[in-house]
Structure 1
Amino acid sequence: MRRLALLLATLTLPGSAWAQEDLTRLPDPSDSYRPALTSWGEPDFRGGWPIDHLNGRTPLQRDPALGDRQLLTEQEYAERAEVVEALEQRYANEDESGTMGMGHWAEVSAANRRTSWITAPANGQLPALTPEGQRLSDAMRSSWVEGQPFDTWTDFDSWDRCITRGLPASMFPFMYNNGMRIFQSPGLVALQMEMVHEVRMIPTDGSAHIPAAIGNWMGDSRGRWLDANTLEVETTNFRPGPSATNIGTTGSPRENDIPVSTSARLVERFHMTGPDEIIYEFTWEDPVVFTQPWSARLEWLRDDDFAIYEYACHEGNVQVRNFITASRAERAEAAQ
């Protein structure tokens, strides 16, 4: 636990390794660490790797005023820390007033120095959509879109319906349910995610992708060990549709939903840089939807004591029906 505390300090405190002179780039992941090996000879990444510590107001996309800077100055960091401290106080305030609201519902962790999770393009922004990507996005429906009426189940995205948050969205922190755990067996890595209780099965035995005609919500992943401390994963075979991806993390596009095509490809690298740290990086390319690929980086910290509980989503599977009933009633009342 002392190691975990030190790593959290590195992520959050002014004057730490993050407070480097060049604020425009993050330090490259170290290749010097050599993790222990499993009994069958693969690097041992097993354990709890929750990303709840990343839920500290770092946005997906960077504030344009920060330009190409990947790190905050000490003053900017202090300002973010002040905002986070106020958010953390909500829980105690609600307890004192005998109420229960967003302070109990939305988790927040310590601030960090990152200006955005997106690292490429250099401006930290999602690339522009292609004309076809824009057309597909405009056709999407979601409960996250303000003022949208609901008439059928197709007015809800896959996360609304508790099917999946999709990729790469599932790899970003949200306001709750940020647990992740890695399991391994010979030739296989399994990544369990608390949100929607999905498990990504990643063969590392050299087997080929499934046929291109088969599409999955989370795609089809294949991994390989690049060296003693890095796992690279390529995911293809994504299931297209008008409601496939909802990033949902701080700083996501206002409409939240981004379409996915059958041409989408995700390449991830998990670098273990110490016994309690993984630098997670990915590049997402979907030429049907985006005008160029984009990349992100997140710093994972080990916490084997993090407990993953039931993710009920919506009890009794009645909320989609309730949204539709309420929406129709509101419109009928407005018409009168």
Structure 2
Amino acid sequence: MTLALAAIAATSGGAVAQEEDLTVLPAPANDFQPELTAWGEPDFRGGWPIDHLNGRTPLQRAAEHGNRQLLTQDEYAARAEVVEALEQRYQNEDSSGTMGIGHWAEVAAANRRTSWITSPQDGQLPAFTAEGQRLSDAMRSTWVQGQEFNTWLDFDSWDRCISRGLPASMFPFMYNNGMRIFQSPGIVAIQMEMVHETRIIPTDGRASIPAQIDQWLGESRGHWEDHNTLVVETTNFKPGPSATNIGTTGSPRENKSPVSGQARLVERFHMTGPGQIIYEFTWTDPVVYTQPWSARLEWQRDDSYEIYEYACHEGNVQVRNFITASRAEREQAAAGAAGGSQ
């Protein structure tokens, strides 16, 4: 049973599906008291991979679901069938002696969420501002269909194995969904399998760095709220049209989602049980979006999940190969056009 479904069952007293309010998510429980570290902070340490969220839930909500946060039971059953068919690809390839997307893409059990976005109410990313649209149009990336490649500037930060960025790194992808939390006095670190990055989050009250210093993952400051919640605020993001791609199911086409220097991310890691964290955030970027947007994901502990080397493009040759192939394609097309005109 998924976390969302279990929470509904627990709060509805076994109510049938038609009695559920599908437009709201269950409020996170607040009565769990995590164990404390030796220095007195809530202990969140351990493995929190998000591969279990890779069950076809889109970032943005399909129009037919309106303002509903949850699928009906029939819709959930239909999604489960789709996921089951996707899961079967691995076995199908093994039985036929082939290896393809079934061995590459990880698929998890379906859940009832209509979208990861919880606000705006329609589950859609807000509209771009005029400047946001300009920055999006200027983005260069391997996600963009039909694009020519001439220099390293034609690739985004994920293409170049630098960073998937934020908030993109906190969403599931088709592989490499490992997350692990480490703690020491005054510091929380979140290790992410994708691109093998580690977020460093001071919780000791230190001042932030100057606004002129920007970083791919921004600069984070955290504090503990109540007895079970880590609140993190991140600013100082590196601006530019190639800063990040969201890159999860249901992301905008071609994932052209720029970041400005005024972007601000506020996250809440709310532990509701020894193996559950409700992760929520709000992303505000007035240069790019006409309003803030928020998302919620339910994490599950899995200390057995192992994070291996993230090789990205081994040998550091793929950027060069893209450029070489793009130039060769254009030369071939030009030669064909010249031959046809004779």
Range into which the TM-score falls when normalised by the shorter chain: over 0.9
SS at match of 2:124: coil
**Which deviations, in whole Å up to 9, do the C-alpha atoms of 1:201-253 show, x marking residues without a partner?**
00000111100000000000000001100000000000111200100000000
Distance 1:92 1:11, change over 3 A: farther
In 2, are the aligned partners of 1:133 and 1:259 still within 8 Å (CA)?
yes
Please give the residue correspondences for 1:324-335 in structure 2 after superposition, counting only pairs within 5 Å: 324-335=323-334
What is the 5 A alignment of 1:232-311? 232-311=231-310
AA aligned to 1:175 is M
Q: What pairs up with 1:107-256 in 2 under 5 angstroms?
A: 107-256=106-255
Match of 2:82 in 1: 83
Normalised TM-score (structure 1): 0.96
Over 3 Å counting, the alpha-carbon distance change for 1:9 and 1:298 in structure 2 is closer
Asked if 1:103 is matched to 2:97, the reply is: no
C-alpha offsets along residues 181-210 of structure 1, whole Å, 9 cap, x if unaligned? 000000100000000010000000011110
- The offset of 1:16, in angstroms, is 3.9
Q: Displacement of 1:335 after TM fit? A: 1.4
Q: CA deviation at 1:11?
A: 4.2
Would you say 1:41 and 2:40 are equivalent positions?
A: yes
Q: Hey, what's the Cα distance between the residues in 1 that align with 2:3 and 2:206? A: 39
Residue aligned with 2:148, SS: coil
What's the TM-score, normalizing by structure 2? 0.94
Partner of 2:57: 58
1:125-146, Cα deviation, whole Å (9 max, x unpaired): 0000000000011000000011
Distance 2:3 2:251 in 1: 26
Match of 1:5 in 2: none
Q: CA deviation at 1:149?
A: 1.0
1:6-21 paired onto structure 2 within 5 Å? 8-11=1-4, 16-17=9-10, 21=20
2:30 and 2:6 map into 1 onto residues whose CA distance is 24
Retained in 1: the 8 A contact 2:8–2:26?
A: no
Retained in 1: the 8 A contact 2:59–2:250?
yes
The structure having more radius of gyration, on CA atoms, is 2
Counterpart Cα distance in 2 of 1:170 and 1:99? 31
Q: Give me the whole-angstrom Cα distance separating, in 2, the residues matched to 1:9 and 1:255.
A: 30
Query: Match of 1:3?
Result: none
Give me the identity figure in percent.
78
RMSD: 1.3
The 3-state SS of whatever aligns with 1:91 is helix
When residues 238 and 14 of structure 1 are mapped into structure 2, their CA distance, relative to the original with a 3 A threshold, is: closer
Contact 2:83–2:110 (8 Å) recurs in 1: yes
Secondary structure in structure 2 of the residue aligned to 1:258: coil
- The aligned runs of 1:312-323 (5 Å cut-off) are 312-323=311-322
Q: Secondary structure at the match of 1:233?
A: strand
Asked if the contact 1:245–1:259 (Cα under 8 Å) also holds between the matched residues in 2, the reply is: yes
Q: Summarize the Cα distance change of 1:147–1:12 in structure 2 as closer, same or farther, 3 Å threshold.
A: farther
SS in 2 for 1:232: strand
Distance across 1 between alignment mates of 2:134 and 2:7: 44
- CA shift in 2, pair 1:17/1:153, >3 Å: farther
